[in-house]
Structure 1
Amino acid sequence: MEQESTLDATVRMRIRSLRRARGWSLDNLAERAGISPSQLSRIETGHRRLSLDQLTAIAAALGKSLDELVESPDDSDVVIRPERDERRGLTTWLLSKDDGPQGLTVGKMRITEQ
């Protein structure tokens, strides 16, 4: 239950921070998300329970994915850790164990310009 309340607080803080960073009032974001300003205010302050349909609308209005709103502030709860190679501009995540089916390893790679 503690993890849920921490996640809840993180999401609420991100919504407010993203709104303010854009210079939007509650009215601006509420209109874009199709909800009332009072509902948005109660969501940000924790006086209203977050619902998935409202969260989806708010994320879209902010130009963010749901993942970006709910991801952990750090990667301490993530099992798959990225490996960074700053020199080559690569970040990789292994998504399967080394001994995957038929000897295959599945991974994700991000290549950044240098």
Structure 2
Amino acid sequence: MQKIPLNLAREGMTLAKPILRDNGLVLVAENTELTGSLLERLERMEIAMVTVQGNPVDLGSGGGENPYSIRAGRLDRLFRKHADDPWMQKNKEHLKNYFLLKAASALAGGEKGGQVSPGEGV
């Protein structure tokens, strides 16, 4: 199971979790196969993330010189003094996954520079 940005979702992928509205109403059921028209509708509804079965998106380094992948690479150095703190290590992994997802999303969207919003810097 992998949570990915909608712009990385492709036809043929299968949802591992249902897509819900803010009020809890199910928009798309679990185990639904994604189609082109469904992806377009989700985009119009401004759904940002979907959880799909398996790990279909290779996050890898996130595209080399992307600002997000650079931030992911710096996390080991930034958290070096907290190697014995399990809570800090969980935070580091969470941040790493976040930056790799953003890097992969920027790469899929064709962004080369990948502008980083204020407050997103590490």
Q: Same fold (TM over 0.5)?
A: no
Q: Give the greater-gyration-radius structure (CA).
A: 1
TM-score, normalised relative to structure 1: 0.36
Higher relative contact order (CA 8 A, sep 6+): 2
